[in-house]
Amino acid sequence: MSCFSHSLFVFSLISLTSIHSTIAADAGLVGVNYGRIADNLPQPPKVVELLKTQGLNRVKVYDSDSAVLTALAGSGITVTVALPNENLSSAAADQSFTDKWVQDNVVAYQPSTQIEAIAVGNEVFVDPNNTTGFLVPAMNNVYSSLVKYKLDSSIKVSSPIALSALQNSYPSSAGAFKSELIEPVIKPMLEFLKKTGSYLMVNAYPFFAYTANADVISLDYALFRDTTGVVDSGNSLKYYSLFDAQIDAVFAAMDALKYSDLKMVVSETGWPSKGDENEVGASEVNAAAYNGGLVRRALTGGGTPLRPNDSLNIYLFALFNENQKTGPTSEKNYGLFYPTEEKVYNIPLTLKDLNSGQSTPVNGSKSQVVVAATPPTAATGQTWCVANGNVGEEKLQAGLDYACGEGGADCRPIQEGSTCYHPDTTEAHASYAFNSYYQKMARKSGSCYFGGAAYVVTQPPKFGTCEFPTGY
Ligand SMILES: *[C@@H]1O[C@H](CO)[C@@H](O)[C@H](O)[C@H]1NC(C)=O
Ligand SMILES: *[C@@H]1O[C@H](CO)[C@@H](O)[C@H](O)[C@H]1NC(C)=O
Ligand SMILES: *[C@@H]1O[C@H](CO)[C@@H](O)[C@H](O)[C@H]1NC(C)=O
Ligand SMILES: *[C@@H]1O[C@H](CO)[C@@H](O)[C@H](O)[C@H]1NC(C)=O
Ligand SMILES: *[C@@H]1O[C@H](CO)[C@@H](O)[C@H](O)[C@H]1NC(C)=O
């Protein structure tokens, strides 16, 4: 077992000089949606302080409120603003409208407020007032206005779509957009995004799929907990989370229309901490597991099985519980924080939180429990990277092959007859190789990932008498 080929081993020796060009994927980015459908939220300057103390440096809002954009000035927090659905028809009708809108809501705040994108409408295809026909013309006009004010290279134009834009999402490889949307709006929108160097925004909620099908979907799979994985019968790719499967269904739908080169940002995702009796799965423990697992997933790098090299950029939904939202109880309970700024539950939000293990959920996924179980050694600040034995032989072997091959890890000590050959298990060998790679990469964020098969620890790993090197 666990004998990687000699050719891979030889390759590892000659590729040491090109490690930097073969990093799998950088860490993704985590932002938060700052929704304000509530009458009890803190004033914007206090909210900006909260974001800063939490290390959240990307925010998305649902309008272009002056108090909010002013409070964000000079904060170092980048913001995605929105042109609401109710203004789409005006924006579509006339560029003089978008010129004025961009001037009043973007130009007026730039550059002290760092606006990085404009969401034109939100989930337009499910707007009861049917604003679908206005979407692409409105996006075009907003873009033309940005060109006019020379902001087109710094600000992207996109529009968050709901997962319900898909006709099929299972298996992921069969992902397809609703046929009635394809010609009128999907193709023109994807073409617009490609032409302007923008990206698709997708709102994805595994919670909806889970709560509607709790009898057939495993809760662990929905919550980023360790599972044996689900194989996509269409392409044999293996999924370890419903979130990844949903995102890949969208990628497959884009592939089917030949837009494989477009990037995606997950503009909303989250899990409610409370729900009505029939909203199976809504609970604090589950919300902490989902959001905590997602943050870890994004920050430790790596993409989905279909797009392994595209790091995941996500916006959590949402910053606060919003007491004036209508609909089921869950709608008011997606927040990470109460309006008092108290945490609804404790999860890591930054890489620093993750590595210190200080901010772990009460009852999160197994891998988070592993982090919590290793007391932080803040005194030395040293970290190591080890394999997660729970992900299974196949994933460990794939990671091991990568680390010792393209990754350029020093795998000589785990060759037969060398110091770290024993114990002769894939987990031990993979741990050695993952750590070697991680240390060579100067413990850069995202360099301890290996498709989810690795995690960072703050105590020296113990496998037989093998010594794991630390930082250079
Ligand atoms: C957007 O629509 C709302 C509702 O119709 C309206 O009150 C508001 O003035 C519009 N905004 C602009 C900039 O025209
Ligand atoms: C639909 O349009 C009507 C009339 O313009 C407006 O009062 C209502 O708020 C709109 N509904 C939504 C969901 O936008
Ligand atoms: C919404 O409007 C578009 C065109 O603007 C039309 O093609 C579509 O059939 C409408 N959808 C519904 C549900 O009315
Ligand atoms: C990901 O990047 C690696 C290394 O650059 C490359 O070999 C591989 O083909 C890429 N995979 C995909 C799916 O693009
Ligand atoms: C954690 O989860 C376990 C089972 O998954 C459950 O028995 C226990 O009560 C939970 N603990 C808390 C604090 O919710």
3-state secondary structure of 86: helix
Dump pLDDT digits (tens) for 289-311.
999 999 999 998 789 999 999 99
Q: Which residues pair with 82 in a beta bridge?
A: 119
Per DSSP (E only), the strands in 353-453 are: 384-387
- Burial readout 404-442 (b: 16 or more C-beta within 10 A, e: otherwise): bbbbbbbbebbbeeeebbeeebbbbbbbbbbbbbbbbbe
Q: Is the minimum distance from the CB of 128 to ligand 2 under 6 angstroms?
A: yes
Ligand 1 atom with the smallest distance to the CA of 90 is 14
Decide: 129 in ligand 2 pocket, CB within 6 A: yes
pLDDT for residue 210 is more than 70:
yes
Q: Which residues fall within 8 angstroms of residue 205, CB to CB, at 6 or more apart? A: 163, 268, 269, 270, 271
Tell me the best of 22, 23, 309, 437 to mutate to test the pocket of ligand 4, counting ligand atoms within 8 Å of each CB and taking the most: 309
Instruction: Tell me what the mean pLDDT of segment 124-142 comes to.
Output: 97
Q: Which H or E element spans position 118?
A: strand 114-120
Using a 10 angstrom Cβ sphere, with 0-12 exposed, 13-18 middle and 19 or more buried, the burial of residue 309 is exposed
Nearest CA to ligand 1 atom 4: 86
> Which DSSP category does 337 fall into?
B
Return the ligand number nearest the Cα of 89.
Answer: 1
DSSP assigned state of 208? H
Domain layout of the chain by residue ranges: 6-20+365-467, 27-350
Q: What is the pLDDT of residue 445?
A: 67
What does the DSSP assignment read for 400-431? HHHHHTTT----GGGSTTSTT--S--HHHHHH
Alpha helices by DSSP H, listed for 199-324, are: 206-212, 219-222, 242-256, 284-299
CB 305 within 8 A of CB 239: yes
Identify the pLDDT of residue 357.
62
SS3 assignment, position 203: strand
Rounded average pLDDT over 206-216: 93
- pLDDT higher than threshold 70 for residue 200: yes
Please indicate whether residue 86, judged by its CB atom, sits closer than 6 Å to ligand 1.
Answer: yes
* Beta-bridge mates of residue 203: 162, 268
Residue 307 token pair = 């797009």
Give the whole-angstrom CA distance, residue 434 versus residue 399: 8
- Atom 6 in ligand 5: which residue has the minimum CA distance? 363
Helical residues (DSSP H) of 125-165, grouped into ranges? 135-148
d(CA 346, CA 328): 24
Is the pLDDT confidence value at 19 over 60?
no
Residue 13, pLDDT score: 34
Long-range own/partner contacts, residues 39-42 (CB < 8 A, 24 or more apart): 39/323, 39/324, 40/323, 40/339, 41/320, 41/322, 41/339, 42/339, 42/341
Which element (helix H / strand E) includes 80? strand 78-83
> How sure is the predictor about 381, in pLDDT bands with cuts at 50, 70 and 90?
low
Non-local CB neighbours of 144 within 8 Å, separated by 6+ positions: 95, 98
Q: Residues 57, 93: contact at Cβ < 8 Å?
A: no
As a whole number of angstroms, the distance between CA 373 and CA 285 comes to 18
pLDDT above 90 as % of the chain: 70
Distance 363 CA to ligand 2 centre (A): 42
Distance 118 CA to ligand 4 centre (A): 30
Residue nearest to atom 1 of ligand 1 (CA): 87
Report residue 230: phi and psi, to 5°. Answer: -125, 125
Ligand 5: distance of its center to the CA of 150 in Å? Answer: 54
Statement: residue 16 has pLDDT above 90: no
285: Cα within 13 Å, side-chain hemisphere: 8
Ligand nearest to the CA of 131: 3
| pLDDT for the residue 4 | 38
Active site residues: 123, 268
Q: What is the pLDDT of residue 160?
A: 98
- Is residue 101 in contact with ligand 1, taking CB distance under 6 Å? yes
List ligand 4's pocket residues with C-beta within 6 A.
22, 308-309
pLDDT in tens, 402-431: 889 888 889 999 998 888 998 899 999 999
Pairwise CA distance, residues 41 & 339, whole Å: 5
pTM assigned to the model: 0.74
For residues 301 and 396, give the distance between their C-alpha atoms in angstroms, rounded to a whole number.
Answer: 16
How far away, in angstroms, is 361 Cα from ligand 5 center? 11
Ligand 2 centroid, distance to 87 Cα (angstroms) = 11
Tokens of 5: 């080929």
Instruction: Identify the CATH number of the domain defined by range 27-350.
Output: 3.20.20.80
